[in-house]
Amino acid sequence: MTALDLAGRPSSVPPAAPATTGRHRRDLLPLGWLWFALGLLLCAGQVQWVLQAGYVTDTAADRWRTALLAASDASAFRDLFAITFPPLPLMADLLLGLLPGTGGVPLPVLVNVLAGAGLAAAWAGQIASGGYGRAVSGLAALLLLAHPALQQAIAAGDGTPLALLALTLMIPALIRVRRAGDVNAMALVGSALALMLFSAPSGAYLVLALLPALVALAPPSLMVRSVLGVLLVLLFPVLFTLGGYLYTNWIFGGSALAFAASVDAAIRGAAADLGRYPWLMLWSHDRPAGLAAVGLMLLGSVPLLPVAVARIHDRHARWTVLLLAASVLAAILIASVSRYLDHPGQMLPYLLPVLAMGAAAARPARLPASVLLLLLTLGLRGGWTAQDYAAAPAGAAWQAAMRGSVVAESAAAQDNAFGKLLRGYQDVAIDATVSGLVVPARGTAEGLLLTSTDRLKADLLAGALSSRYVAVQDPDTPRGLRDRIGRALAGVWRDGPPGATLVAAIGPWRLWRLPDRPSRP
C-alpha cells in the first residue's frame, strides 16, 4: 500500500511511477529494521523487567511447557498438535525453540517480543505511507507498541500479538477490498481472519464480531452481483482452516472437538474463580454500565481513535476504520458476556492497528504530527489507568511487577525449584501436562517419560512403572487431582512405587527412585 493509496486517490489518477515507489520502499527498508530493533529493545526490556519480578502467567507457562513437550516426543507432538487451541502460537514456539540459544528462554514471551518488534516496523511503515515523516512514524509506532494493554499482552505470553500482526496485515487489505475489490486484498483478508482465529482466543472473538462487519465492508459493486460469492471469497480460508483443524482433532485427538475440552476448562476455571475477577463479577452482566465502562476505557486508552476517524477524508478508509473499531468493541462485549474476557484491556490492543491505519489515512494535513504524538502519549497514561480499573489478577500482577514489586507465586517457585532439580535426572515418569513450570524450569522434556508415550501408557495400565524415577504431585492439590500417574497408581505420592526410595520433596512434588530391575526395557 502506497501513501497515495492510503490518501484515497481517485482511481482515475495514474499510479505513481514504479521507480519512485521502488526507491521509496528501498528508503524505508533500513528504517523498518531500525523500528524493529527499537521495538525489540522496548518489548524485551519490559519483559525482562517483569520476569525478574516473577511475573509468569499460567497462559505463558502452559504454552512454554506445551512447546517443550511437543518438541521432545513425536507422540506428544501429535497429541498436542491436534488439541491445542490456538495452534499457531504453539507452532511459533516450536519453530523458535529450534533455534540455538533459546533453551531456558520463555518461548511464548520470546515469540511475543518478536511479534511486538514486527508490529513496530509494520506500523511505522503504514504511518509513513500516510505521508508522515520517518521519525514521526517510527516514534508513533513505538508509542503504539508501548501501550500498556499491548505490553501486558506481550508479557502475558498469550497469542494476542500474533493476532495483532494478522490484523495489521488485514486492515490495509480491507481498505483495498472496500475501494476496488482487489483479489489479492480479498485473499489477504481471508487469510488474516484465519490467522487471527488460530492465534488467540481473543482473536477468535474478534473474527466472530467481524463477520457482520464484513458484509458492510465488502465492495458494493461486487456485493450486488453475489453476496454469497463475496462472503465465500472472504471467509473460505477461515472456514477451511477451521474444517482442517477439526479434522486433525479427529485424526489425532479422536474427536473433532477434542480441543474444546481445554477451552472449556479455561472458561470453567475462570468462572469457578469469579471472585478474583471484578470485571466478570460486575460489569459483564450489567450491559449498559459495562458498555459505558468499556467506552470510557476506550476513550482513555485510545484518545486518538475518535480524532483520527473524524479527520479521515477518504470515505472508504473512514468506513473501514470505524467498522473495525466497532467490531473490537463488539468483540469485547461478546467475550465479556460469555465470561471469557476477564478484563477489556485484554482486547484493547486490537484497536492499536486500527489507530495506525487511521492515522495514516487521516494524513498529516488533517492530523498534524504533533497532535498525533500527543494523543498517543496521552493514550499511554489513559491505558495504564484503564488497565488498573477492575483489573484481573494477571493484570494487577503485571502492574505490580512493572512497579517493581515481586509477584512470584509460591507454587511457581516450587515448580521452578523442582524443575531445576530434575535437570540432573533422566528417565523420569511424569504427567507433564499438569506440571506447571516444572518442565520449563528443567529446560527440556528430553529424558522425561511422558504420559503420551506408549511405554508409560502401558505401565499405567499394568500398574507397574518401568522408569528409573517417577515424579508425582500431592493428590490433594487441584493439579495433583488431575495427575494421571497419581490417579492410576493410588498412593504413589505418599508411599512411592513398591521398593522405591524418596529422592526429593519440594512443595507438592515428590521424586521417587524405583528399584533397579534386571531387565528394564
Restricted to residues 412-471, the positions that interact with another protein (CB under 8 A) are none
Nearer CB in complex with another protein: 196/297: 196
Binding of another protein by 251 (CB under 8 A)? yes
Binding of another protein by 272 (CB under 8 A)? no
Task: Give min distance, CB of 107 to another protein, in A.
Answer: 20
Q: Which three cell numbers stand for residue 74?
A: 513425536
Q: Which x/- pattern over 142-181 shows residues binding another protein (rule: CB under 8 A)?
A: --------------------------------------xx
Upstream peptide bond of 86 is cis (omega within 30 degrees of 0)? yes
Nearer CB in complex with another protein: 241/301: 241
Q: What is the DSSP string of 362-373?
A: HHHHHS-HHHHH
Task: Give min distance, CB of 403 to another protein, in A.
Answer: 45
Q: What is the dihedral of CA 105, 69, 264, 481, to 10 degrees?
A: -100
Nearer CB in complex with another protein: 184/370: 184
Report the C-alpha gap between 275 and 349 in whole angstroms.
25
Q: Is 108 helix (H, G, I), strand (E, B) or coil?
A: helix
Q: Which residue from 25, 212, 240, 338 is in contact with another protein, where contact means CB under 8 A?
A: 240
Q: Which residue from 59, 199, 248, 336 is in contact with another protein, where contact means CB under 8 A?
A: 248
Contact 336, 291 (CB under 8 A): no
Task: Give min distance, CB of 498 to another protein, in A.
Answer: 34
Q: Which residue from 58, 182, 388, 474 is in contact with another protein, where contact means CB under 8 A?
A: 182
Report the C-alpha gap between 284 and 271 in whole angstroms.
12
Nearer CB in complex with another protein: 12/519: 12
Q: Residue 416: how many CB atoms within 10 A of its CB? A: 21
Binding of another protein by 183 (CB under 8 A)? yes
Q: Of 359, 388, 385, 376, nearest to 303 (Cα)?
A: 376
Residue span binding another protein (CB under 8 A) among the ranges 27-35, 228-236, 296-304, 366-374: 228-236
Binding of another protein by 187 (CB under 8 A)? yes
Q: What is the DSSP string of 177-205?
A: HHHH--HHHHHHHHHHHHHHHTT-HHHHH
Task: Give min distance, CB of 216 to another protein, in A.
Answer: 17
Nearer CB in complex with another protein: 229/295: 229
Restricted to residues 10-29, the positions that interact with another protein (CB under 8 A) are 15
Nearer CB in complex with another protein: 72/435: 72
* Greatest C-alpha distance within the chain: 85
Q: What is the DSSP string of 301-312?
A: H-THHHHHHHH-
Q: Residue 307: how many CB atoms within 10 A of its CB? A: 17
Q: Of 431, 423, 305, nearest to 375 (Cα)?
A: 305
Nearer CB in complex with another protein: 34/180: 180
β-bridge mates for residue 494, sequence order: none
Task: Give min distance, CB of 77 to another protein, in A.
Answer: 8
Restricted to residues 207-226, the positions that interact with another protein (CB under 8 A) are 221-222, 225-226
Restricted to residues 73-92, the positions that interact with another protein (CB under 8 A) are 74, 77-78, 81
Query: Residues touching another protein: how many (CB under 8 A)?
Result: 30
Nearer CB in complex with another protein: 15/295: 15
Per-residue DSSP letter, 255: S
Alpha helices, DSSP H, located in 132-283: 134-145, 148-156, 160-180, 183-197, 201-217, 220-223, 227-253, 260-272, 278
Q: Of 253, 5, 6, 46, nearest to 149 (Cα)?
A: 46
Q: Which x/- pattern over 316-355 shows residues binding another protein (rule: CB under 8 A)?
A: ----------------------------------------
Residues of the shown chain interacting with another protein in the complex, contacts defined by CB under 8 A: 15, 74, 77-78, 81, 180-184, 186-187, 190, 221-222, 225-226, 228-230, 232-233, 236-237, 240-241, 244, 247-248, 251
